[in-house]
Amino acid sequence: MEIKITILKHGPEHIPKYATEGSAGIDIQAAINKPIIFKPRERVLIPTGFKVEIPINYEIQIRPRSGLAIKHGISVLNSPGTIDSDYRGEVGVILINHGDRSFKINPFDKIAQMVVTKILKVNIVREDNLSDTKRGSGGFGSTGEN
């Protein structure tokens, strides 16, 4: 399967790629021309410098990098972010600093990863009486702590 990509003027030198053969996510870099420093609890929209063409019935999910999360508390705010197949604008990544210190992103630092995912379309059918289950309407924490 192919995903078409357009690199913008301010974009990375090379197209995004998988870091290893076993990687599920494709690394995304910050397409910025100077460092950005954001404080704890602050969020920032980081441009990636590229656009994509995703086949129908697929999406790209934008996910955090585990190293940034564990070391610095940096995450993707709307995780996972979704890029729909009909979107043709520049991909942006909304980062949030959950850490207790300011964090600096340098030009072309790896900031997130994107995962291509197949979408299953469903028909939503109105039904006034749903089937019963053992759990029923029990919500958060209703299945126990273990």
Q: What pTM did the predictor assign?
A: 0.87
Asked if residue 118 belongs to a domain, the reply is: no
Asked if residue 117 belongs to a domain, the reply is: no
The predicted-structure confidence for 84-103, as pLDDT tens digits, reads as follows: 999 999 999 999 999 999 99
Beta strands in the chain (DSSP E): 4-7, 26-29, 36-38, 43-47, 50-53, 58-63, 74-76, 81-83, 92-97, 103-105, 110-118
The predicted structure's pLDDT at residue 145: 67
Which CATH number is 11's domain given?
2.70.40.10
Domain hosting 38: range is 4-106
